[in-house]
Chain A
Amino acid sequence: MNVEETDLPGLGRRKDFMTASGRRIGVVELREGQTELFVSTWDDPDTCQASIPLTGDEAATLGNLLGGQHLAMKLTEEHREVPGIVTRQFSIAPDSPFQNQPMGKACIRTRCGVSIVAIMREGEVVPSPGPDVVLHSGDLLVAVGTQEGLDSAADILRNG
């Protein structure tokens, strides 16, 4: 992907690319540390239809959502020939009982036969996390298992 980087003197830095549908999409990293997400209009690639200020947390969460979706799609593709196996994403809510706890405490694999294959955190992937990886609020877990197993895993992560 050809990401264009432009300096904005006095403001920050813009990084954007052109999508296949003909719109520019990108972010401006402001000097103050905020991120501004923008999408161009369909008829004028030079102007923004929306320009949305994001805090650091929001930007990281958005990165997780997009990256997680990508990863989940890839995994689904790979598991297509195994019937009954599904990929799903769980996010750790601020009130989750496993917040700031090592993942092994939830015993998800033992209790419901579900594997956590990756954690998306602040836009980065933690691949095949071990049981001692500490979960944080906002983390996105990518899980593989049966439909029922995933349902009970979701319940465990939410209610303990």
Chain B
Amino acid sequence: MDRLALTLIEVGAVVFCLGLLARLAGRIGMSPIPLYLVGGLCFGAGGLVELSGMKEFAHLSGEIGVILLLLMLGLEYTATELVTGLRRSWQAGVLDLVLNFLPGAGLAVLLGWGLVGAMVMGGVTYISSSGIAAKVITDLGRIGNRETPVVLSILVFEDLAMAVYLPILTATLAGVSFLGGLQTVGISLAVVTVVLLVALRHGHRVSKAVHSENSEVFLLNLLGAALLVAGVAAALQVSAAVGAFMLGIAISGATAHSATQILEPLRDLFAAIFFVAFGLNTDPASIPPVLGWALILAVITAATKIITGVWAAKRVGIARPGRFRAGAALIARGEFSIVIAGLAVTSGVVEAELAALATAYVLLMAISGPLAARYIEPVVKKFTRRVRPEPVPA
């Protein structure tokens, strides 16, 4: 068969299957990410059907998917929200970082993956999925709950932490020395500060540069700007994803809002292909050996997220059930853990098992996170009732 025809058929079949998987996920009320990953595992190297024609396409689309994911993460919060969030909840954010980075990093060291592996796995276990968390909050009707601002402000902090972490990760993966690493940290901190300042003072100008009333013009401007910034960032060795993310932060106000709406379908498509592409490059046979570790890591990091939420919610005077709801809403890991693992795998300096461990881990967390958020309340209540007599209804 003609190469083009083969590619088209494969891409079409895969995208169609992803549609079916997304529908299935919607039907059972879970995030589609784990299903996309499983789909990728089935199609890729060592899977049920091997698709070789779409490798090139999947690779490039996956990269665009990462750029769009990060661009939209940057668009999610305004610069003002980031700054106030940082000021108000940095203690909880730091606790979150320490408690959830260490288990992943520790396991990587234990498995002998060195400092680079530790850096990657720490990021994978640290970052909650803001997409899944937001969906859980809306689906369970918790927007008006008092612990919701606590959860959101921790997600905001993670957002900012990513802006500092990603350049460091990229530098580490590129094999920069310790001193060079410090330099990257300095540069990335400076860049984040400058971008935040620009967004706060001149955000409307950046927004104006890409904004247009015509949705077609707007989409092309936005996508063009994102890819350009990402490309330049990649050329400067600061990772394409970070560039897109910074652009997202710099765009603010109404423009950010309409940008989110206009980019959403594109992000859904390319991010889905990214998850598949990640799965494609992972040999399903490499997962069973690391499944035990993934389970241990899942249990530990679910507990550490709950501790984070409980502590942060307690500080603002929220009662016991609310504290646990806050913790459980943070458990889910998803898209950004895969983005981090994907960056590491593409660079080729980490063990192949790392991709397998990250896949298994995200599969577990993306499925169990929403379930935990839903069922932690009855569990906590049951436990509380056993300790104290049942309160009399007012």
**In whole Å, how far is B263's beta carbon from the nearest beta carbon of chain A?**
15
* Contact assessment for A46 and B319 in the assembled complex, using a CB-CB cutoff below 8 Å: yes
Q: Taking A22-B394, A47-B142, A47-B145 as contacts, is the C-beta distance between A9 and B85 under 8 angstroms?
A: yes
Return the contact of A8 from the options B82, B143, B319, B393 (Cβ within 8 A): B143
Which segment, of B45-53, B56-64, B147-155, B276-284, faces chain A? B147-155
Give the complex CA separation of A51 and B141 in angstroms: 6
Q: Is the CB of A10 within 8 A of B81?
A: yes
> Residues 123-156 of chain B: 1 if any A CB is under 8 Å from the residue's CB, otherwise 0?
0000000100010000001111111110011011
Task: Return the contact of A14 from the options B130, B149, B318 (Cβ within 8 A).
Answer: B149
Answer whether residue B322 sits at the interface, using C-beta atoms and an 8 A cutoff: yes
Stretch at the interface among A35-43, A115-123, A141-149: A35-43
Instruction: Report yes or no: B393 in contact with A43, Cβ–Cβ below 8 A.
Output: yes
Contact B142 A48 (CB under 8 A): yes
Chain A contacts of B82 at CB under 8 A? 9
User: Is B391 a contact of A9 with CB atoms below 8 Å?
Assistant: no
- Cβ of B86 to closest chain A Cβ, rounded Å: 11
Q: B149 touching A7 by the CB < 8 A rule?
A: yes
Asked whether, in the complex, the Cβ of A9 is within 8 Å of the Cβ of B77, the reply is yes
Report how many residues on chain B are interfacial, defined by Cβ distance under 8 Å.
31
Contact for A10 among B152, B321, B394, CB less than 8 A: B152
**Among candidates A24, A45, A47, A51, residue contacting B325 with C-beta atoms closer than 8 Å:** A47
Q: Whole-angstrom distance from the CB of A23 to the nearest CB of chain B?
A: 9
Total inter-chain residue pairs, C-beta < 8 Å: 82
Min CB–CB distance A21 → chain B (angstroms): 8
CA distance in complex: A17, B152 (Å) = 21
CB-nearest residue of chain B to A4: B146
Q: Is the CB of A46 within 8 A of B321?
A: yes
CB closest chain-A residue, reference B313: A46
Cβ contact within 8 Å between A42 and B393: yes
Task: Find the B residue at minimum CB distance from A32.
Answer: B257
A47 touches B149 (CB 8 A): no
A1-59 interface with B by 8 A CB criterion: 6-11, 14, 16, 22, 24, 26, 28, 30-32, 36, 38, 40, 42-48, 50-51
**Residue from B76, B130, B147, B152 in contact with A46 in the complex, judged by beta carbons closer than 8 Å:** B147
* Pair A7/B81 contact, Cβ less than 8 Å: yes
Residues of B within 8 A of A (CB): 76-77, 81-82, 84-85, 130, 134, 141-149, 152-153, 155-156, 257, 318-319, 321-322, 325, 377, 391, 393-394
> A residues near B, CB below 8 A?
6-11, 14, 16, 22, 24, 26, 28, 30-32, 36, 38, 40, 42-48, 50-51
8 shortest interchain CB distances as A-B pairs: A38-B144, A46-B322, A51-B141, A46-B146, A9-B81, A48-B144, A9-B152, A9-B156
